[in-house]
Amino acid sequence: VTDNNDGTYLVFVTPQQSGRYKLSITIHGQDIQGSPFDLSVVPQRDYTKLRDPVQTITGIIPVCIAFSDSGDMFVTSTDHYLHVYDIGGKKKATIGSGRSGELQFQSPCGIFIGGEIVYVAECKGHRIHKLTTGGEFLGTFGERG
């Protein structure tokens, strides 16, 4: 635990085995807000075994890339879309546009996949989109501050 000297703390956890866990954080015997936290620990991937190139993408300019547990590749691009490719490199889906509605991305610049949930961060729209790896909209949060 690291004290940030601003009223917040940074907690580092190093699990020893894969699995689902609950992490309780307490202060003076009382759980902090949101505790216990659900953790899903997955085995570390060995990226040294990847062939070069893993996949070739044409027709877009990639910004960020993330892989789902099933091996699907999710790519944010400069054309305001989220592109999804299967493990063999075949395009499965194209999601979005430069608009401001559900699953409409304004300069998607970051992506994270946790289990079956995909989070896409926008640079221009100042939002985070939450969707399933199957492309189902789950929610959007954030706004220009």
pLDDT in tens, 72-104: 999 999 999 999 998 878 889 999 887 777 888
Q: Phi/psi of residue 131, each to 5°? A: -145, 165
The per-residue pLDDT for 96 is 87
| 103 to 33, 85, 91, 97, 121: CA distances (angstroms) | 30, 17, 18, 8, 11
Q: Quick one: which of 111, 2, 63 has its CA closest to 119? A: 111
The first and second tokens of residue 92, run together, are: 């499965």
Separation CA 135–CA 105 (nearest Å): 13
Confidence of residue 23 (pLDDT cuts 50, 70, 90): confident
pTM summary value: 0.63
